[in-house]
Structure 1
């Protein structure tokens, strides 16, 4: 996996899974010790998961915006721009092929 973006995403996913497992273990330990009820543990984990999903959406949006900015700064054509140019080439080719 040479792509640094893919590496970062894989690392983030691995950390998220490990963190969820560690948080669940910690909650289970607190329930066993009687410091937290099963319902409190369940609600806490749901809250943590919801906040995690919200943060993930924020990160996705931020990465999308950064990628758009990078593409703009590199002055690369977008997929839509390439498709428009391809269509223009086809139209021009058709015009050239038409007999006068």
Structure 2
């Protein structure tokens, strides 16, 4: 199974800046109100799926299935995440969840 995630914010920023550069250089009849929403909701998923298809030699349908399934986590990773969140929640002052 191919993991589908971007390791860190720096990598995400590099990819998004690259896509933004292509978008700004390309003449298109597409219209959009929010560049960030268009990149994150349309162009970034397309770039990821095309990249996986090329790098892993998977069919478009296989890549789409992998992408939509999202990352697979081992049960121990989920348990550790839940413990960490529980610890952090205990350390928060009493606030309304809407304030977070």
Q: TM-score, normalised by structure 1?
A: 0.33
Highest RCO, 1 vs 2 (Cα 8 Å, sep ≥ 6): 2
Report which of the two structures shows the higher radius of gyration computed on alpha carbons: 1
Give 1 or 2: higher helix fraction.
1
State the TM-score, normalizing by the size of structure 2: 0.33
